[in-house]
Structure 1
Amino acid sequence: MPLPAETLTRTTTLVRHNLLLVRREPGPILSRMILPLVFLTLLRPLYTAAQGPAAGTEQAVVGTVVTFSLLALSISGSAILTERLARTWDRLRASAAHPAELFTGKAVPAFLALLTQQALILGFAGAFLGLRPQHYGLLAAVLLSWSVTLLGLGTLLGVLARSAGELSAAYDIGGMLLSSLGGALVPLSVLPHWVNVVAPISPGYWAAHGLRASLAGDTAATVTTCAILLAAGVVCALAAALRLRGRGSRLVAL
């Protein structure tokens, strides 16, 4: 087993390296930061006209956070897939680096990007749209838990996908589907009954539920939601690790 000091040094190096890669190509990250603000600004009047100023603003903010954070699965998924396509992941695994160090090196920049995106949306809503959370601590807990879920799910997609096109389809279609089923864009109360039945299988449902609970200051509902989101993230991360261990990270021949 590597010594703790050696592990910390290698992990820190990998994190810095991956942050540098993000800085060199900031376009994808910037688009995930700017587009949600445009979407929220343009769509909020529709929600407020239908639901009233307070409820409409909350629906618009929750829908924007959940939808665009799911679309941002590309941040963590692409980080893994790019290494696999370049065959560098296998070389890194064959070196002295431990698999946990490799995952951490990829996870930290993606986790920071996901948190920044969500904080930017909520900060914008608070500064310009009048959003006033009842409990900022509960809101932060939901954002952290949801980011863990997104990180685990994005990592799993990056491990399973065989090409950039396949990954793109997964997070575009999957992101919109999970967001819609979760009641983020449209309240579940106005959707067909079958959507309400299947909604809890979507991580987007729990993210939206947790955001609404934290904005209202509901501690019990927030804690329950955070536990579910964290469990989902851990399950996805373990599935990704087992996939790499059991079958390797090499692409299946098309």
Structure 2
Amino acid sequence: MSPRESAFRTGALVRHNLLLMLREPGPLLSRMILPLAFVTLLRPLYVAAQGRTAGTEQAVVGTVVTFSLLALSIAGSTILTERLGRTWDRLRGAPVHPAEVLVGKAVPVFAALLAQQLVIVGFGVGALGLRVPHPLLLLGVLLSWSCALLGLGALLGVLVRSMGELSAAYDIGGMLLSSLGGALVPLAVLPSWVAAAAPISPGYWAVRGLQGALAGDARSVAVACGVLVCVALVCDSLASVRLRGRSGRLVSL
């Protein structure tokens, strides 16, 4: 197997999975459009309570984290659809390496998750006056957070048994993780036990990283990115173990 042949097959798988995603664009479009309406309506509340600059930052950060967690449906459904369609055996028998299938599934989902966040941040900059003095720090957090979301979505996809269960998991889990992480309401005004428990939520580290990036705090960004990458690795490892138990070979997201 030459690297060129492998790259050709991987590219074909990426295009195939991207086409499947675009054939039913409803979920993707809703995850892109709804956050823009949400942040527009939410911002005046934060501005009134925290001032123009801090309020705008809180509104954008909270929207990015909350709606990206709800977008776990995009990652989870990629695996669950294969499971429900019982196509794992055909994937195992296909003349492709598991790593090629892995990349072919992961790239379109990762691109969708990152695009959603960039759309929200771009809207914040262009329409709401959000200031991003350190774009590279912000990009680092968004990439790390997208990796964590990819891992969480993959884990959901191998654990749940139906689309209904997946919907409940990302709706309930997404809101809990974002709320516990201080995305919607600052931790300073929540009960002390919430602030103590907040670090167990990946959303907390996403909020901390995004706020650190906007403030130019490289140390906070580095810590948050490190935690998010660890979350991604742990979730992907657990998903891989689960799939090996089902199919005996890694062909997952």
Tell me the distance in 2 between the aligned counterparts of 1:213 and 1:90. 45
Once the two structures are superposed, residues 211-252 of structure 1 have per-residue CA deviations (whole angstroms, 9 ceiling, x without a partner) of 000000111111111111111101111111111112339xxx
What stretches of structure 2 of length at least 5 have no aligned partner?
Answer: 249-253
Contact 2:110 2:147 (C-alpha < 8 Å) held by counterparts: yes
Q: Write the mapping of 1:33-182 to structure 2, written as runs, cut at 5 A.
A: 33-182=32-181
Q: Distance in 2 between matches of 1:196 and 1:209?
A: 13
For 2:120, give the aligned amino acid: I
Paired residue secondary structure (1:185): coil
1:3, distance to aligned residue in structure 2 (A):
3.9
In structure 2, what is the Cα distance between the partners aligned to 1:102 and 1:25? 21
The alignment's TM-score, normalised by the length of structure 2, stands at: 0.95
Q: Determine the structure 1 residue equivalent to 2:236.
A: 237
| Contact residue 80 and residue 158 of structure 2 kept, 8 A | yes
The whole-number CA distance in structure 2 between the counterparts of 1:5 and 1:70 is 36
Matches within 5 A, 1:20-35: 20-35=19-34
Cα shift at 1:161: 1.1
Shift of 1:89: 2.5
Query: How many percent identity over aligned positions?
Result: 69
Task: Determine the C-alpha separation between the residues in 2 that align with 1:158 and 1:7.
Answer: 26
User: Match of 1:162, SS?
Assistant: coil
Q: Aligned partners of 1:80 and 1:103: how far apart in 2?
A: 11
- Equivalences, count: 248
For residues 67-89 of structure 1, the C-alpha deviation after alignment (integer angstroms, 9 at most, x for no partner) is 00000001111011111111112
Once the two structures are overlaid, the 10-residue window that deviates more, 99-108 or 189-198, is: 99-108
Q: Which residue identity does 2:167 align to in structure 1?
A: S
Q: Residue 158 of structure 1 aligns to which amino acid in structure 2?
A: G
Q: Distance in 2 between matches of 1:53 and 1:68?
A: 22
**Given that residues 56 and 130 in structure 2 are in contact (C-alpha distance below 8 angstroms), is that contact kept between their aligned partners in structure 1?**
yes
Amino acid at match of 2:106: A
Distance in 2 separating the partners of 1:96 and 1:238: 24
Contact between 1:84 and 1:90, CA under 8 Å: does it hold in 2? no
Could you tell me which runs of 5 or more consecutive residues in structure 1 were left unpaired when the two chains were aligned: 250-254
Tell whether the 8 Å contact from 1:133 to 1:217 is kept in structure 2 after alignment: no
- Counterpart-to-counterpart distance in 1, 2:4 and 2:242: 28
Q: How does 1:3-22 map to 2 (within 5 A)?
A: 3-22=2-21
**Distance in 2, Cα, partners of 1:134 & 1:195:** 31
Cα distance in 2 between the residues matched to 1:61 and 1:170: 24
Between stretches 143-152 and 236-245, larger displacement belongs to 236-245
Aligned to 1:252: none
Amino acid at match of 1:21: L
Q: Distance in 2 between matches of 1:179 and 1:99?
A: 33
* Contact in 2 for aligned 1:47/1:57 (Cα 8 Å): yes
**Counterparts of 1:247 and 1:89 in 2: how far apart (Å)?**
9
Corresponding letter in the other structure for 1:44: R
Whole-angstrom distance in 1 between the partners of 2:97 and 2:175: 35
Cα-to-partner distance string for 1:160-201 (whole Å, 9 max, x where unaligned): 111101111111100000000000000000111111111000
Aligned-pair RMSD on alpha carbons? 1.2
Which residue of 2 is the match for residue 185 of structure 1? 184
Deviates most, 206-215 or 44-53: 44-53
SS in 1 for 2:233: helix
